């Protein structure tokens, strides 16, 4: 899911995938996977397989693999066979497995877990949740694969991007610059785990699915925003970096991607535990580990996103006015207190 955050946090990528003509094509494209997903759901229901979690996730993943490859090729304005003939096995494997199969499985689990938190359990009422999981996963995969294909098309047309949403830059950071991220991420992991453990001791409601959902959103939003500012202003202390932005600007990033993807990763983990491992009510230690793990992951992602923006600012001393269309955090990224 890092690719999604990257395409909405790095302004040059955001501008490229939010141009009006492109958005219209994307909306039309997203209709078709939804229709195919609904047809697939009807087939599974007739066969009596829609209430089997393994079959549902496998069906969602396989459908989305095809959707991802077709949407990626459409974004590149080429036929699928022509894209395959290029021989970029690693790139196609990432699109098919990473953006297609695995992403769809995670999204399906997220949908099922969210409905469980809302007391509409897949175990008790499989029809609605199964249909929604298939449709939401496939349409989301189509959207993201199409955007990535369009970015690749623009790249081949000569449009430069400092960061591409394929996680290679993150891998380079993780393997090559542990001195930059290891200590802050470890501290965030420990702090989030201890904070949630303390909340659970003081307020037992934090041990319910809904209580955990609310708590993890707040905690992850804080550590992700801290890490982002640290990556964006590497020469400053965290406090000095925070002081360069207004609370409204910080709130934007806190809510998206901080809180939003904190919730997303929690729901994926809850879906795995509830539906694959069949543990309806995770014990306290499991909830603490989930919270700490998501906190560490989002802290790393926040730092990486801030660093991507910092690198872009270094390369482009001035930002063209068109970049001000970045919808979620442009205020945070481009404006500072006087």
CA distance 109 to 330: 31
Residue 177 and residue 247 in one domain = yes
| DSSP tag of 1 | -
Give the least confident one: 74-88, 272-286, 288-302.
74-88
Residue 59 and residue 121 in one domain = yes
Give me the helix-helix angle, 284-315 and 2-9, nearest 10°: 40
Residue 151 and residue 207 in one domain = no
| DSSP tag of 244 | T
- Domain final residue pick, 128, 156, 184: 156
Residues in the chain: 338
Residue 109 and residue 203 in one domain = no
Residue 174 and residue 304 in one domain = yes
**240-266 pLDDT per residue, tens:** 777 777 888 889 999 999 999 999 999
- Domain final residue pick, 124, 156, 188: 156
User: Number of folded domains in the chain?
Assistant: 2
Asked whether residue 62 is domain-assigned, the answer is: yes
| DSSP tag of 206 | G
Residue 88 and residue 218 in one domain = no
CA distance 177 to 304: 11
Residue 104 and residue 173 in one domain = no
Residue whose structure tokens are 């290029």: 86
Reference 253, options 236, 229, 235; nearest CA is 229
Residue 123 and residue 266 in one domain = no
Residue 134 and residue 187 in one domain = no
- Domain final residue pick, 110, 131, 156: 156
Q: Domain range spanning residue 261? A: 168-319
Locate the DSSP E strands across the chain: none
Asked whether residue 327 is domain-assigned, the answer is: no
Instruction: Please state whether the peptide bond connecting residue 257 to the residue before it is cis, i.e. omega within 30 degrees of 0.
Output: yes
Residue 134 and residue 258 in one domain = no
Asked whether residue 337 is domain-assigned, the answer is: no
CA distance 306 to 286: 30
Element holding 41 (H helix, E strand) = helix 20-47
Residue 300 and residue 181 in one domain = yes
CA 312 to chain centre: 21
**137-193 pLDDT per residue, tens:** 999 999 999 999 999 999 999 888 888 998 889 999 999 998 889 999 999 999 999
Q: What is the percentage of the chain residues whose pLDDT exceeds 70?
A: 93
User: For the residues 296-302, what does the mean pLDDT come to?
Assistant: 97
CB-CB contact of 324 with 14 (8 Å): no
Residue 136 and residue 235 in one domain = no
Asked whether residue 130 is domain-assigned, the answer is: yes
Asked whether residue 80 is domain-assigned, the answer is: yes
Asked whether residue 87 is domain-assigned, the answer is: yes
Asked whether residue 40 is domain-assigned, the answer is: yes
Asked whether residue 336 is domain-assigned, the answer is: no
């Amino acid at each position: 899911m890092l690719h999604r955050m990257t395409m909405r946090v790095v302004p040059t990528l955001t501008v490229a995938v939010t141009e009006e003509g492109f958005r219209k094509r994307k909306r039309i494209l997203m209709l078709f996977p939804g229709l195919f997903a609904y047809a697939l759901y009807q087939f599974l229901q007739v066969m009596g397989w829609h209430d089997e979690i393994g079959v549902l996730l496998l069906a969602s993943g396989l459908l989305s693999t095809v959707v991802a490859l077709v949407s990626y090729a459409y974004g590149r304005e080429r036929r699928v066979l022509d894209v395959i003939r290029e021989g970029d096995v690693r790139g196609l494997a990432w699109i098919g497995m990473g953006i297609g199969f695995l992403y769809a499985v995670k999204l399906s689990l997220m949908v099922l877990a969210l409905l469980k938190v809302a007391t509409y359990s897949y175990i008790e009422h499989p029809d609605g949740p199964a249909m929604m999981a298939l449709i939401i996963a496939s349409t989301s995969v189509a959207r993201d694969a199409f955007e990535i294909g369009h970015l690749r098309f623009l790249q081949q047309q000569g449009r430069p991007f400092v960061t591409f949403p394929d996680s290679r830059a993150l891998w380079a950071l993780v393997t090559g610059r542990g001195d930059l991220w290891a200590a802050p991420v470890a501290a965030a992991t420990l702090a989030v785990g201890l904070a949630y453990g303390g909340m659970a001791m003081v307020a037992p409601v934090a041990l319910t699915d809904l209580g955990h959902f609310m708590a993890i959103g707040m905690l992850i939003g804080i550590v992700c925003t801290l890490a982002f500012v640290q990556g964006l202003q590497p020469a400053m202390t965290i406090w000095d970096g925070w002081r360069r932005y207004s609370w409204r600007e910080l709130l934007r990033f806190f809510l998206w991607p901080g809180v939003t993807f904190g919730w997303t990763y929690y729901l994926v983990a809850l879906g795995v535990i509830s539906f694959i491992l069949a543990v309806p009510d995770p014990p306290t230690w499991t909830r603490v580990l989930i919270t700490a793990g998501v906190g560490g992951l989002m802290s790393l992602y926040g730092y990486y996103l801030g660093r991507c923006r910092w690198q872009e600012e270094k390369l482009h001393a001035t930002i063209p006015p068109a970049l001000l269309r970045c919808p979620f955090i442009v205020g945070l990224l481009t404006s500072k207190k006087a």
